[in-house]
Structure 1
Amino acid sequence: MEEKGSGNMEYNSADDAVPGRTEQILCQPCSSKDKQTVADVFCLTCDEFQCTECSNVHTTHAFLRNHKLVNAKEVKTKPVSFDMRGLDQCDEHHKVLEFFCEDENQLCCSTCAIVDHRKCHSVVEIQKIAGSSASESSKLKVKLQEVNEKAEKIVKHAMSSKEKLDQDVKEVSLTIRRMRDDVMKMFDDLEISVAKDAESFKTETFNKLTRKQSDSEKHVADATKSIETIDNVYQNGTPLQQFILEHRIKKQVDELSSNVDKECQRLETVTVSFDFDDTLKLPPLSIADYVPGQLTLKYFVPEAVKPLIPLDPIVKLTMITSIDLKQTGDDAKEPLYKGLDFLPDGRLIAVDNKNRKCLIYNEKLEKVGSYQLSNMPQSVVAVSEEEVAITSGRYMTIDFLRVSKSNEITLIRTCEVKTKYDSICMKDERNFVVGTYDDTTPVRIVSLSGEEKDFSINFPSKKYPIGTSVCTYIRNSDKVVLTDRNEHTVYIYDIKSNTRVVVKDDQIKEPRGVAVGPSDCILVCSNKTNSIVQISQTGRILSSYKLDMELPYRVCISKDKSLLAVSSNLNGGRKLQLLQVTY
């Protein structure tokens, strides 16, 4: 008999007993490693048969000691649970998810809890909190139903647009044919020429609409499948499985909803028409010399589905406060802030390269905390509510510091890397995107544990000297933004399509710091024009804001996109400013 679940179990049921054969229940952890070991105990909390050696983990780790173990021979069968099809398995360790880290909002298996979350303050058993958020599944279901309806709307619109487009193209030919009786040869040539262009447009547009229809049909299928999964789990699954499903599927639902919302905002109605000139020149004239009319090929978004907010809103900046960065106290040199970032609670973190300091500022740009670093810092990024990471360039390390609510800074650990890193930002919860210097790969990925790897994109093999390039990352669209100071250029790399956009404009002179702003626009410091330039992801210059400082150097934006901080690098006149962001 084989039971559905995460492990393997072998035994003879009472109905199938064979004289002389003894019942054997195998250890499930051993079976997953292709080892045949007889189980000695059954853990009611882990819901797993284990041998003596595997069960010893319950005495080794404190948070497992309250698990209840019983003699394996006393347990004939395990209750049949709903088949989660691997959703209740850890992606990394392929073990049952038993714990939930409230600090990092992550599901964990026993290995995750021990290895990756041992420093977290609140790691609890899912069994104890399962069922406490029953309303979450209903919210997910409602959201999926909305996704379903919107995706179906897109499918119907695409089908209707194709029918209308087909009819419009036919009407072009009919219009021309009605005139052909009066101007014979010219309109024969005209029909061939114009119909060819119309058909070409129709073919191109059909392909776009078919892809849009296909994508939205997939969204419908994905939403329907997820709704069925939610219904199935809540009808047949345990509270533990329901809790796991909510957390596993929430990100997928958010991404699906975002994709469908974007498609709804981009619905276009395509028309084709042909209008004759007011004054017709009569034959004999070659169609190449004169076309008595104009083929109009047009997209437009109906008023009913136009987005309320423009896709690329113009960012407006308003000065809040400004301070001069002067040498004071124990400073050995005039401060130079090479790294800036906001903590989630709105406090500003800055790193002073010249004086090897990490500093904290409040909402009034009052210094409320300071820490002496051992290396010269290059850049800083907020990792979580109370943790930041700082690159140190030629020392090839990343320092992790704790920044408490009371503005105390302590060193947590130092991670050694193999490359010289300058700029740093978050890629996701587990990885950074870092800008290199003196290396042929300008941008790399580094995990929180220091594992380094490259993007799957062909960056030009160019070494940037220190201070000539920085980068940032747009998570929602998987794009890397790279500045080239000497070339007065901003590059936007699309990782998915392995393409890039090159942005060169008279408003961008010696680009330095760069940040991701509202609606994922790009905000870049133009050093020589003393301004912050706003660029769309497609490379369009949206606006330019003249700053009340010379040589703007580094820029960052708060998590809620409401505040912007910028520092300058003018010798003898360096500043740090805080600005309000509206759009």
Structure 2
Amino acid sequence: MAEKGCGNMENNSSGDAVPGRIEQILCQPCSSKDKQTVADVFCSICDEFQCLDCSNIHKAYAFMKNHKLVNAIDIKAKPVSFDMKGLDQCDEHQKQLEFFCEDENQLCCSTCAIVDHRKCHSVVEIQKIAGRSASASSQLNASLQDIREKAETVIKYTKSSKEQLDQDVKEVSLKIRRMRDDVMKLFDDLEVSVAKDAESFKTETLNKLTRKQSNSEKHIADATKSLETIDNVHQKGTSSQQFILEQKMKKQVDELSSNVDKEYQRLETVTVSFDFDETLKLPPLSISDYIPGQLTLKYSVPEAVKPITPVDPIVKLTKITSIDLKKTGDDAEEPLYTGLDFLPDGRLVAVDNKKKKCLIYNEKLKKVGSFQLSYIPQSVVAVSVEEVAITSANKYQIDFLRVSKSNDISLIRTCKVKTKYESICMKDERHFVVGTIDDTRPVRIVSLSGEEKDFSINCPNKKYPIGTSACTYIRNSDKVVLTDRYEHTVYIYDIRTNTSVVVKDDQINEPVGVAVDPSDCLLVCSIKTHSIVQISQTGRVLSSYKLDMKNPRIVCVSKNKSIIAVTNNFKGEGKLQLFKVTY
């Protein structure tokens, strides 16, 4: 709500008042039209001083008839509220934020609290807890100050580097010109050749440095603007408004901090130099065949800047619930779940390889939906809010099923492919990453329409039978992960650099199922150690969590990154378990 002044006020009270003056408050609607009209009444609902003409609007509309009007003279001081510029409004319902869900760490309006958080245990009024986080504002200020200082350092070094770069390039030309006096025409050609390369490097690098400087100037502007907003809310806003702003800005500040840290870590001094070979000889060759020198392009990190070493957090798993997978009724075989994935709303989808079924479980692992398939399913992935894709162990196809909010399952379409696929995960909104069955290309890309293509990576040239390998994809770093069960190995391929990391460790014994955890590390099912092993993207084994199930085979992570599901393959002791993920 914007601040609204009370107009001109004259009084006859003590203090700084001028004797003889009478307090006058102007009508706010009239003031907005550049009219000077004395206010007669104050409406607490409209939060305005109004003259008699403007207040007559209350008689025209039924919904305003209950507004309470009081004599303007009786209102000594109108409460001043700070304009949050929409920050205190719910993004989804455009209503006032009045509650805070401590279970999910989320601000709520009255609709959110009733509809989306009715199952949560701790939804409290913001007014009651607003005073708890007195230090949060100072932490946000500190983070923003740090962001601004780092961005200013980036600008300082980029400006210096640009100046040095220009000076170095000029020095290259001067050195070549001095040498040209001795060898004449040969060095005329040399100057043209080397100066062209140097200028090309200068242009490319200047563009890079200019972009870096522009980004950092934007970071400074964003941080400064946020600091001003926090300062204004801290000075003028209520404790509830301060609390709301802090919650709203945490994500922005974290993202801004991450962006500045990336620029800060990549600070580098760019130099250009040219040096002649000590054993210079001048054979009768053209300058294009023999260049008596070398253009050196060098990047170096300034000593004043200490690179920030990223730390991979150690995952902690706390079991939430567990169910046994056993034969029921006239079943000839025990269930065998070979695929798991979470829908965005938290429901778990499983495929039963033995019974040829797609199953839906709620957050308490109660079975709420089932669909009979005509083929042997192998793996499953959630494609969207109400759509899943299933691979087949005996068919050249990928099926797309709709899973409704009421847990009804129906076949949408079947996509024919030329390769049999086992594991499957999303690469982006339009493509899958899939692990093959008995194919020399162990991991491939398949579009949602069935177009198949290969990665440009050097995978092992071997065929993997069913149950001996699985793959996943780390979207943020563009890396493909492949497990090799009987080689006790996990391969991590960097698509951007076409490099790979081979992970072998005593804690990894017959790895199969693999998923990406909330910190973009890997969670691998180690069958013979009955464990979930956490591995960093660089191949370092971070932790190993011993399960109370034998031979864990499949693992998946919920879309909100807070829950994982694990199932196994052990005759007579099949289990499906949920774990809470913390660090």
Q: TM-score range by the shorter chain?
A: 0.5 to 0.7
From 411, 415, 433, give the equivalent of 1:482: 433
Contact 2:338/2:351 (<8 A) preserved: yes
Give yes or no for the alignment of 1:17 onto 2:17: no
Give yes or no for the alignment of 1:38 onto 2:72: no
The match for 1:202 is 202
Secondary structure at the residue paired with 2:278?
A: coil
Structure-2 separation of matches of 1:434 and 1:297: 51
**Runs of at least 5 residues in structure 1 that lack an aligned partner in the other structure:** 27-35, 42-70, 318-341, 357-372, 403-409, 453-460, 494-499, 569-573
Structure-2 separation of matches of 1:447 and 1:210: 51
Structure-1 separation of matches of 2:456 and 2:388: 20
Deviation at 1:445, TM superposition (A): 13
Contact 1:421/1:434 (<8 A) preserved: no
Structure-1 separation of matches of 2:418 and 2:326: 21
Larger radius of gyration: 2
Distance 1:380 1:103, change over 3 A: same
The match for 2:218 is 218
Distance 1:576 1:247, change over 3 A: same
The match for 1:400 is 362
Distance 1:549 1:180, change over 3 A: closer
Alignment map for 1:3-14 (pairs within 5 Å): none
Alignment map for 1:239-388 (pairs within 5 Å): 239-282=239-282, 284-305=284-305, 307=307, 309=309, 345-347=317-319, 378-380=339-341
Deviation at 1:131, TM superposition (A): 2.1
Letter in 2 for 1:91: D
Contact 1:399/1:415 (<8 A) preserved: no
**Runs of at least 5 residues in structure 2 that lack an aligned partner in the other structure:** 5-42, 329-333, 372-376, 410-414, 448-453, 536-540, 543-583
Secondary structure at the residue paired with 1:471?
A: strand
Matched residues, percent identical? 47
Letter in 1 for 2:530: L
The match for 2:488 is 530
Deviation at 1:449, TM superposition (A): 9.6
Give yes or no for the alignment of 1:577 onto 2:531: yes
Contact 1:113/1:123 (<8 A) preserved: yes
Letter in 1 for 2:442: H
Deviation at 1:531, TM superposition (A): 1.1
Letter in 1 for 2:64: A
Letter in 2 for 1:256: L
Letter in 1 for 2:488: N
Contact 1:491/1:503 (<8 A) preserved: no
Letter in 1 for 2:348: A
Moved more, 176-185 or 116-125: 116-125
From 520, 541, 550, give the equivalent of 2:500: 541
Deviation at 1:345, TM superposition (A): 3.8
Letter in 2 for 1:38: F
Q: TM-score, normalised by structure 1?
A: 0.65
Contact 1:96/1:109 (<8 A) preserved: yes
Structure-1 separation of matches of 2:471 and 2:197: 46
Structure-2 separation of matches of 1:580 and 1:12: 57
Alignment map for 1:49-128 (pairs within 5 Å): 72-73=68-69, 79-128=79-128
Tell me the alpha carbon deviations over residues 485-529 of structure 1, each in whole angstroms, 9 at most, x when there is no partner. Answer: 242236699xxxxxx974333388655143769999765313464
Aligned residues: 462
Deviation at 1:133, TM superposition (A): 0.7
Structure-1 separation of matches of 2:129 and 2:402: 35
Distance 1:286 1:467, change over 3 A: closer
Letter in 1 for 2:423: S
State the superposition RMSD in angstroms.
Answer: 5.1
Letter in 2 for 1:512: A
Secondary structure at the residue paired with 1:299?
A: strand
Distance 1:231 1:72, change over 3 A: same
Deviation at 1:471, TM superposition (A): 2.1
Deviation at 1:22, TM superposition (A): 2.7
Moved more, 463-472 or 265-274: 463-472
Structure-1 separation of matches of 2:240 and 2:319: 37
Distance 1:546 1:91, change over 3 A: same
Distance 1:200 1:174, change over 3 A: same
Deviation at 1:530, TM superposition (A): 3.5
Secondary structure at the residue paired with 2:286?
A: coil
The match for 1:149 is 149
Letter in 2 for 1:100: F
Tell me the alpha carbon deviations over residues 160-208 of structure 1, each in whole angstroms, 9 at most, x when there is no partner. Answer: 1111111111111011001011000000000001100111111111111
Secondary structure at the residue paired with 1:505?
A: coil
The match for 1:188 is 188
Tell me the alpha carbon deviations over residues 392-429 of structure 1, each in whole angstroms, 9 at most, x when there is no partner. Answer: 48866642222xxxxxxx5286699xxx994558x9xx
Distance 1:306 1:101, change over 3 A: same
Letter in 1 for 2:512: Y
Structure-1 separation of matches of 2:462 and 2:306: 32
Give yes or no for the alignment of 1:566 onto 2:525: yes
Distance 1:464 1:233, change over 3 A: farther
Structure-2 separation of matches of 1:188 and 1:507: 53
Give yes or no for the alignment of 1:470 onto 2:424: yes
Contact 1:566/1:577 (<8 A) preserved: yes
Give yes or no for the alignment of 1:506 onto 2:468: no
The match for 1:411 is 366
Distance 1:250 1:205, change over 3 A: same
Letter in 2 for 1:280: L
The match for 1:361 is none
Distance 1:277 1:307, change over 3 A: same
The match for 1:65 is none
Structure-2 separation of matches of 1:185 and 1:444: 74
Contact 1:400/1:414 (<8 A) preserved: no
Deviation at 1:467, TM superposition (A): 4.5
Give yes or no for the alignment of 1:555 onto 2:514: yes
Deviation at 1:123, TM superposition (A): 1.4
Letter in 1 for 2:361: D
Structure-2 separation of matches of 1:471 and 1:272: 46
Deviation at 1:226, TM superposition (A): 0.8
Deviation at 1:220, TM superposition (A): 0.9
Secondary structure at the residue paired with 1:90?
A: coil
Moved more, 541-550 or 279-288: 541-550
Structure-2 separation of matches of 1:40 and 1:150: 57
Q: TM-score, normalised by structure 2?
A: 0.65
Distance 1:160 1:448, change over 3 A: farther
Distance 1:489 1:397, change over 3 A: same
Tell me the alpha carbon deviations over residues 507-561 of structure 1, each in whole angstroms, 9 at most, x when there is no partner. Answer: 8865514376999976531346431123447453123316788863203577689
Structure-2 separation of matches of 1:442 and 1:306: 51
Distance 1:243 1:411, change over 3 A: same
Deviation at 1:94, TM superposition (A): 1.3
Structure-1 separation of matches of 2:100 and 2:263: 35
Structure-1 separation of matches of 2:419 and 2:115: 38
Distance 1:310 1:83, change over 3 A: closer
